[in-house]
Amino acid sequence: MKVTLTHIKADIGSLPGHTTVHEDVLNEVKRFLKEQSKGIIWDHFVGYVGDDIQITMVHDNGVNASEVHKLAWDAFKSGTEVAKKLGLYGAGQDLLKDSFSGNIKGMGPGIAEMDITPRRSEPFIVYMMDKTEPGAFNYPIFKMFADPFNTPGLVIDQSMHDGFKFEVWDIQEAKAIMLNAPEEMYDIISLIGTKGRYVIKRVYTKKEHGKLPDENVAVITTDKLSFIAGEYVGKDDPAAIVRIQSGLPASGEAMEAFSHPYLVSGWMRGSFNGPLMPVAMKNSKMTRFDGPPRVVALGFVYKDKKLTGPVDMFDDPAYDNARKLANDITDYIRRMGPFEPHRLPEEDMEYTTLPKVMEKLKGRFVHVDAVEKGVSKNSTGRDSD
Ligand code: 13P
Ligand code: 13P
Ligand code: MG
Ligand code: MG
Ligand code: MG
């Protein structure tokens, strides 16, 4: 039987700034889905991270199913009405188009979905990040599926020993490439280290995989709001679905990839580098400098049209040290204020007001030789000509 996991997320309004979702909006999205989802999806869960509402769904309509996408879109529309009434900030922020047109791609919400062949037990983790971008998943997804120091299963589990295939997207040129790990590991790293451009979209097992050949086992949202809107309208806070166990990374191997709060871009105004802090869903209020960027992990199993769970995976003292380190990095890096490398480099600022500042100052730039001439004139007190 074909089964599809679909995860769709959007920021439809927050309290007071880009801090957190409002309970009434969350409840409206839940109410809408409870009443309208029958006959379209089998089961679902509504969660959140920071100011983003997240819908995890399971159904048999396949990926890109118009009715499933429309259900999520309409649920977000309905939630937006409540957000507007309450006067929440950025009500409907990520709903960039006026009306639904067949597919939610390119309309603002982030989407990650895959068709799966369900196993006897089908465990998976949904990771949801706020105040960062899709490329923030490059590092942890690589660690889970390609780094034996993170995932010893790559060495000691016979069915993982051949490695995995990585589908990497160039999101600037809208191109994709399939690369094999471990054979092409250095090529993979040389691309995905440029995380603002090359992003891991999907991971597949190889055809040699003993338990689950040629199967999609991870998928990440890659939607870029600025490409749709043409200007900065919030960072493209991403989410991912990662299947685990039986020939895939164990739950703890998938979780271990987040034990180090590596730097991601996003944070305040989508314009700063900062540490990714793993937190419980209830602790995902984005307070300090609208962050620091956070990741929430929800663990599910799927069976017979039902989702069981989730377990709030980072709601655990085992991640206290990662959070402490993230706070220490925050103290350190915040003192740089608007300077790089805390602030993002110029090319990442093109959707902010920085190009407008440059436009304003354009006429006042002169060649350095002219300045040097002036300096020598000033220092000698007389014209050197
Ligand atoms: P248990 O012995 O607790 O089932 O754990 C098995 C395992 O492989 C953990 O990674
Ligand atoms: P969001 O992308 O989470 O809405 O945040 C936008 C922002 O500008 C935060 O400072
Ligand atoms: Mg927001
Ligand atoms: Mg957000
Ligand atoms: Mg956003």
Question: Among 220, 63, 88, which residue's Cα sits nearest to residue 141?
Answer: 220
Which atom of ligand 1 lies nearest, measured to the CA of 252? 10
Ligand 2, atom 3: closest residue by C-alpha: 131
Q: Is the CB of 254 under 6 A from ligand 1?
A: no
Q: In this structure, what token pair is assigned to residue 82?
A: 């409540």
For residue 91, which ligand has an atom nearest its CA? 3
Q: Are 212 and 117 in contact (CB under 8 A)?
A: yes
Mutation pick for ligand 2 pocket among 11, 226, 334 (CB with most ligand atoms within 8 Å): 11
Residue 365 lies in a domain: no
Q: Report how far residue 187's alpha carbon sits from residue 177's, in angstroms, rounded to the nearest whole number.
A: 11
Q: Are 25 and 88 in contact (CB under 8 A)?
A: yes
Q: Report how far residue 133's alpha carbon sits from residue 195's, in angstroms, rounded to the nearest whole number.
A: 9
Q: Is the CB of 252 under 6 A from ligand 1?
A: yes
Q: Report how far residue 65's alpha carbon sits from residue 43's, in angstroms, rounded to the nearest whole number.
A: 16
Residue 379 lies in a domain: no
Compute the chain's Rg from CA coordinates.
Answer: 23
CA atoms within 13 A on the CB side of 251: 13
Q: Which domain holds residue 321?
A: 3-354
Q: Is the peptide bond before 341 cis (omega within 30 degrees of 0)?
A: yes
Question: Among 101, 97, 59, which residue's Cα sits nearest to residue 80?
Answer: 97
Sign of the dihedral through C-alpha 315, 316, 319, 323: positive
Q: How far is CA 101 from the centre of its chain?
A: 24
pLDDT score, position 384: 45
For residue 250, which ligand has an atom nearest its CA? 1
Residue 260 lies in a domain: yes
pLDDT score, position 101: 79
Question: Among 242, 196, 232, which residue's Cα sits nearest to residue 345?
Answer: 196
Which atom of ligand 2 lies nearest, measured to the CA of 290? 10
pLDDT digits (tens, 9 = 90+) for 146-174: 999 999 999 999 999 999 999 999 988 88
The C-alpha angle with vertex 294 and arms to 235 and 167, in degrees rounded to 5, equals 65
How many C-beta neighbours within 10 Å does residue 322 have? 19
Q: In this structure, what token pair is assigned to residue 17?
A: 């700034």
Q: Is the CB of 374 under 6 A from ligand 1?
A: no
Active site residue 198: no
Q: Report how far residue 232's alpha carbon sits from residue 245's, in angstroms, rounded to the nearest whole number.
A: 39
Ligand 2, atom 6: closest residue by C-alpha: 234
Residue 377 lies in a domain: no
Ligand 2, atom 4: closest residue by C-alpha: 234
Residue 114 lies in a domain: yes
Active site residue 127: no
pLDDT score, position 106: 79
Residue 382 lies in a domain: no
Burial 279-294 (b: 16+ CB within 10 A, else e): bebeebebeebbbbbb
Interface predicted TM-score of the whole assembly (ipTM), two decimals: 0.90
Question: Among 75, 76, 78, 89, which residue's Cα sits nearest to residue 14?
Answer: 89
How many C-beta neighbours within 10 Å does residue 351 have? 18
Q: Report how far residue 93's alpha carbon sits from residue 82's, in angstroms, rounded to the nearest whole number.
A: 13
pLDDT score, position 1: 76
pLDDT digits (tens, 9 = 90+) for 231-269: 555 558 999 999 999 999 999 999 999 999 999 999 999
Distance from the CA of 203 to the center of ligand 4, in angstroms? 25
Could you list which residues have their CB under 5 Å from ion ligand 3? 11, 14, 18, 51, 90, 234
- Tell me the pairing of strands 110-116 and 122-130: unpaired
Q: Is the CB of 193 under 6 A from ligand 1?
A: no
Question: Among 287, 256, 278, 285, which residue's Cα sits nearest to residue 326?
Answer: 278
Among 11, 147, 157, 223, the active-site one is: 11
Active site residue 60: no
Residue 375 lies in a domain: no
Ligand 1, atom 6: closest residue by C-alpha: 250
Q: Report how far residue 219's alpha carbon sits from residue 52's, in angstroms, rounded to the nearest whole number.
A: 18
Count: domains in the chain = 1
Q: How far is CA 85 from the centre of its chain?
A: 28
Kindly give the parts of the chain with pLDDT less than 50. Answer: 383-385
Residue 245 lies in a domain: yes
Q: Are 136 and 292 in contact (CB under 8 A)?
A: no
State the helix-helix crossing angle for 185-192 and 138-146, rounded to 10 degrees: 170
Q: Which residues are annotated as a binding site for dihydroxyacetone phosphate?
A: 18, 131, 269, 290
Can you point out the beta strands (E) in 13-163? 43-49, 52-59, 110-116, 122-130
Distance from the CA of 234 to the center of ligand 3, in angstroms? 6
Distance from the CA of 178 to the center of ligand 5, in angstroms? 28
Sign of the dihedral through C-alpha 84, 86, 87, 90: negative
Ligand 1, atom 10: closest residue by C-alpha: 250
